[in-house]
Structure 1
Amino acid sequence: MASFAHDFPFDPAYGRTLDDLLRIPAPDDAPDDFDAFWRARYEEARRVATEPELGPLEEERDGVRIHGVTFTSVGGVRLGGWVVLPAEGAAEAEYGFVIGHGYGGRQEPGPDVPLPLPRSAAILPCVRGMGTRGLRAGIPDVSSGHVLHGIASRDTYVLGDCVADLWCAASALHELVPETARTENGPRLGLLGESFGGGLGALALPWDDRFAAAQLTVPTFGNHPLRLTLPCVGSGESVRTYHRTHPEVTEVLPYFDAATAASRVKRPTLVAAALFDPSVPPPGQFAVYNALAGERELQVLDAGHFEHPGTAAATKELGAARSRFFGAHLGR
């Protein structure tokens, strides 16, 4: 059980040891039409003409060129983000990545570049409502409000559209860089997501066979029934507060449970889960890992969403594990 000096009014380790965390399952109340709901959402997203437009070069570093990009997602929503290409040109790309972002949004490509593998291209979308290039009128741009937007119904909850934004981003990348699409040896596309992006990634993965492998770091939205009992300083606290006056939300949340979705994930997945995390309670993170139905790998972090003396070393170690993992699983 990890322990750090802190001033939170609760224990960010939630009294669990690693052994305890490795026994936390997905919830047992998945809706009967969970799969049908998500397959329909995926089919809708695949019908979208994403019409990606690559912007001018914004930055060149680490052997890549970074361009702005816009593309269309479900509902005709036009979103932005960045595309990363090998410095030698798109034709040199052998692998592709869709990279989600945390609930702080994305203002720039930042630490997601350099990419996990050389000779790669990537799209870094800003999902609707988040980041400077995903802002939308009527959708709150801070996590406490965003996570509640449309939550009264499974059909209007913003998380469903955010997952679709990742699928449409993959379509846009394939159109811009056809080399990242499926080859005779299988798909060449990887999915990465951290925190908010990790939860969205788990929800996106089971239905989209364009992804060969994925890496989810401190993923959120895992085991909602348990999350509703755990105080935190992240978006989950907004949902807990909302639940107190709107108990009927428990009819909606099961459709957006990342651990339930993980139980449908068959492709290789690396999960980095933390023992101590004040923003995304570790029990939910480990529920996602424990539920994975396919080949899986666990990287245990001492802490998530919390700076500590070992943060830099842990980040470096995770980066090395990520590169090794995708090197073993993309296009094999």
Structure 2
Amino acid sequence: MALFDLPLDRLREYRSASVEPEDFDAFWGKTLQEARGHGLDARFEPVRTHLRNVVVHDVTFAGFGGHPVKGWLTLPAGTQAPLPAVVEFIGYGGGRGLAHTHLLWASAGYAHFVMDTRGQGGAWGGGGDTPDPVGSVPAYPGFMTRGIDAPENHYYRRVFTDGVRAVEAARSHPLVDASRTAVVGTSQGGGISVAVGGLVPDLAAVAPDVPFLCDFPRAVRLTDRDPYREIGNYLKTHRGRTEQVLRTLSYFDGVHFAARGRAPALFSAALEDQTCPPSTVFAAFNAWAAEDKAIEVYDFNDHEGGGPYQDAVKLAWLPSHL
């Protein structure tokens, strides 16, 4: 697919038309306060993996509603003093998978915490282990329209809250330096990273790659690929609800979280990305509040973005922030 979105010079100036709800901060303040009313109850159980250079823990912590959320914590073998931490969120449809598939960040000397995404893990990878016990009004298959009737009910209210609690769980481990914590992720994981970056004020770094869940008003009208297309397909059936749906989604739009992001940030975008169009990524990047920010652009890539090349960029970038 050739370039289909705005040219790069216009992307660098693009601003989203997404309207921020007046009670955005109050909504998220109440949501996190309610979540913290449940004990974090973070548990770290050693796992036998037959890997010689890392130690893995099976993690369980209390997320939204006190619901148990799974994860992996991987540490370099022989760690005795607290390490800077990288908390990672997973792409759409995937789960935490198997422990031995997450070795990059621990190999680089970091404590690495991977959060399982509630209700997901059935589409690719090694599976997930975290159910989502909350029901939904009628929705289009997928996760985008679950609870679309109101922001209080939407699926990503639970997921973003889980993400904040995952940072708190990682920081609770004695071998994690809580003052040096970064969040990373690709696609949905990038979108969760943007949200957590706006909700956790003292992160040391944020690195979202081709982030999903940004600039909903443009995304749902620009691309016909899933997962954004789930929203359009829902509205094909539920005619006349566009305004209500976009209002609900505005509480989960990465653009508004980005406006609260204070940590140094490294984004990436791909100019042929039809899943997360580059203008939606630049909408979040341009809104990111911190002055210390950069974006890597991959001219001829689709949603795979920079892949291992972007990993190399992050490996070079993170040490100066952690």
TM-score range with shorter-chain normalisation? 0.7 to 0.9
Q: Is the 8 A contact 1:116 1:323 kept in 2?
A: no
One-letter amino acid of the structure 2 residue matched with residue 79 of structure 1: V
Residue 297 (structure 1) aligned with residue 294 (structure 2): yes
Structure 1 residue 230: Cα displacement: 1.3
1:240 has 2:232 as partner: yes
Alignment match of 2:85 (pick from 91, 96, 106): 96
Q: Secondary structure at the residue paired with 1:229?
A: helix
- Residue aligning to 2:59: 69
1:202 alignment partner AA: V
Aligned equivalent of 2:35: 45
**Matched residues in 1 for 2:40 and 2:287: separation?**
32
Matched, 1:265 2:254: no
Matched, 1:222 2:175: no
Offset at 1:68? 1.8
Whether contact under 8 Å (2:258, 2:289) holds in the other structure is: yes
Distance 2:84 2:50 in 1: 19
Indicate the residue corresponding to 1:6 in structure 2: none
3-state SS, counterpart of residue 87 of structure 2: strand
Shift, 1:240, TM fit: 1.9
Which of 17, 30, 39 is the aligned partner of 1:27? 17
Greater mean alpha carbon deviation, residues 274-283 or residues 60-69: 60-69
Instruction: Determine if contact 1:98/1:166 at 8 Å carries over to the other structure.
Output: no
Aligned residue for 2:160?
Answer: 163
- AA aligned to 2:27 is F
Gaps of 5+ in 1: 4-12, 182-186
Distance 1:304 1:68, change over 3 A: farther
Output the CA distance in 1 between the equivalents of 2:60 and 2:173.
11
Rounded Cα–Cα distance in structure 2 between residues aligned with 1:202 and 1:179: 22
Deviations 1:153-194 (A, max 9, x none): 10010101101111111122122235321xxxxx21000121
Letter in 2 for 1:95: P
The 1:270–1:195 alpha-carbon spacing in structure 2 relative to 1, beyond 3 Å, is: same
1:318 aligns with 2:306: no
Aligned to 2:47: 57
Q: Name the aligned partner's letter for residue 91 of structure 2.
A: G
More displaced stretch, 153-162 vs 129-138: 129-138
What is the TM-score with the length of structure 1 in the denominator?
Answer: 0.84
Name the aligned partner's letter for residue 217 of structure 1: D
Alignment of 1:192-207 (within 5 A): 192-207=184-199
Q: Aligned partners of 2:18, 2:275: CA distance in 1, in Å?
A: 24
Name which of structure 1's ranges 54-63 and 288-297 shifts more when overlaid on structure 2: 54-63
CA distance, structure 2, for counterparts of residue 30 and residue 300 of structure 1: 27
**2-structure distance, mates of 1:137, 1:42:** 18
Query: By how many angstroms is 1:112 displaced?
Result: 4.4
> Which deviates more from structure 2 when the two are superposed, residues 104-113 or residues 166-175?
104-113
SS at 1:250 equivalent:
helix
Q: Identify if the C-alpha distance between structure 1 residues 209 and 221 changes in structure 2 by more than 3 Å, giving closer, same or farther.
A: same
Match of 1:276 in 2: 272
Counting matched residue pairs gives 306
Within the candidate set 94, 106, 126, 1:105 is matched to: 94
Unaligned runs of 5+ in 2: 122-127
- Normalised to the residue count of structure 2, the TM-score between the two structures is 0.86
* 2:151 maps to amino acid: R
Contact 1:212 1:268 (8 Å CA) reproduced? yes
1:114 is matched with which residue: 100, 104, 111?
Answer: 104
- Closer/same/farther in 2, CA of residues 289 and 93 from structure 1, 3 Å limit: same
Query: What letter matches 1:16 in structure 2?
Result: L
Distance 1:264 1:152, change over 3 A: same
* Residue aligning to 1:86: 76
CA-atom RMSD in angstroms: 2.4
CA apart distance, 1:87: 0.7
Q: Work out whether residues 84 and 122 of structure 1, in 8 Å CA contact, stay in contact via their aligned partners in 2.
A: yes
Give SS of 1:92's match.
coil
**Does the 8 Å CA contact 2:83/2:175 hold for their aligned counterparts?**
no
Identity across aligned pairs (percent)?
A: 26
Alpha carbons 1:228, 1:239 under 8 Å: kept = yes
Contact 2:35–2:66 under 8 Å retained in 1:
no
State the Cα distance separating 1:16 from its structure 2 match: 2.4
Deviation at 1:237, TM superposition (A): 0.5
Q: Distance in 1 between matches of 2:190 and 2:116?
A: 14
1:197, distance to aligned residue in structure 2 (A): 1.3
